[in-house]
Amino acid sequence: MVNLEVEVSGLRLRNPVMLASGVIGVTGKLLVRAAEAGAGAVVTKSVGLERRTGYGNPTIVEVAPGSYVNCMGLPNPGIDEFAEEIRIAKKGGVPVVVSVFGSSPEEFAMVAEKAEDAGGDAVELNVSCPHAEVGVLERSPRIVGQVVEAVKRKVGVPVFVKLSSNVTSIVEVGKAAEDAGADAVTAINTVRAMVIDVEACRPILSNRFGGLSGVAIKPIAVRCVYELYETLKIPVIGVGGIFSWEDAVEHILAGASAVQVATALTRGFNVFKEVVDGIRSYLERKGFRDIREVVGAAHR
């Protein structure tokens, strides 16, 4: 029997396939549904200190099969109201990671503290939304380090940092997060993008700019995971374009200790079972006994 259980900075997962932060993570019940469908852990939609309605429509457009550009604009009810959804999500029986954002290091810390109080098993700091006018806009290593330090002073649960590929060096930002005390990094958030309607002669999305997710970004994500694994000592969680077990294994071979799935949920909740079963069969076929044997194997 192959062991698929992993530990990411103290967080025990029955399998390495997590639900990524995104539209499914807006309610506790949907998070429970992802857990029941087989996710090893679930991450909420990003939540801030105050309620935000987000941008007006259109906020999402499919640009190629399995690839979307979205600009939701970080809609959320605010952490005080969202606390109840976290409590409900816990009924799924898998770790609940709360994705948080803020407009300053102190605000990040306040939201993270409330997320922990509500029962969050870890927090994932969204310092990487590619288009919202709130949050940490300057993704410099210095600012990211300040955010991590502020949060680490306030919470005891593991702190993950979700990184952007929209920077000159994702490794520099990841290293700053690690030096400031981050427990893991998640790579990558969506890639800043734009789509123009040629008949209307104007950008399609209401916010003009959005973030590209899905099939199209997998090679970028795999490259980022590979680079981060080479330099960082803390675990890397891979996200970007994972639709199949092969996609997940690619991230794991690049160095991901766990992976996250988001856009593939457009094809249904069955993706968790399919990816987990596929990873298990792959490991059996290759003669491995433990998923950890293949983490980063592409470097050896």
Residues that bind ligand SIN (CB under 6 A): 46, 71-74, 126, 129, 132, 189-190, 211
Cα distance between residue 44 and residue 180, in whole Å: 24
Judged by beta carbon, residue 53 or residue 281, the one nearer ligand SIN is 53
Residue 180 contacts residue 206 (beta carbons within 8 Å): no
Collapsed DSSP state (helix, strand, coil) of residue 62: strand
Shortest reach from residue 294's CB to ligand SIN, in Å: 29
* C-alpha dist (Å) from residue 120 to 59, 78, 87, 188, 286: 28, 15, 8, 21, 36
**Beta pairing partners, 185:** 161, 236
Catalytic hit among 71, 129, 201, 224: 129
Whichever of 15 and 207 has its CB closer to ligand SIN, that residue is 207
- Residues 6 or more apart from 300 whose CB is under 8 A from it? none
- Residue 30 region, left (φ>0) first, then alpha (ψ -120 to 50), else beta? alpha
End-to-end Cα spacing for the chain: 25
Instruction: Tell me the closest approach of the beta carbon of residue 291 to ligand SIN, in angstroms.
Output: 28
Nearest-angstrom CA–CA distance, 115 and 169: 30
Q: In this complex, which beta carbon is closest to ligand SIN, that of residue 37 or of residue 134?
A: 134
By C-beta, is 74 or 144 nearer to ligand SIN?
Answer: 74
Shortest Å distance, C-beta 156 to ligand SIN: 25
Query: Closer to ligand SIN at the Cβ: 46 or 165?
Result: 46
Token look-up 């593939």 returns 264
In the bound complex, what is the minimum distance in angstroms from residue 73's beta carbon to ligand SIN?
A: 5
Q: Where would I find the H helices in 24-78?
A: 28-36
Q: How many CB atoms lie within 10 A of CB 113?
A: 20
**Minimum Å distance from CB 286 to ligand SIN?**
35
Active site residue 224: no
Reported as type and span, the H/E element at residue 285 is helix 271-286
Cite the active site residues. Answer: 129
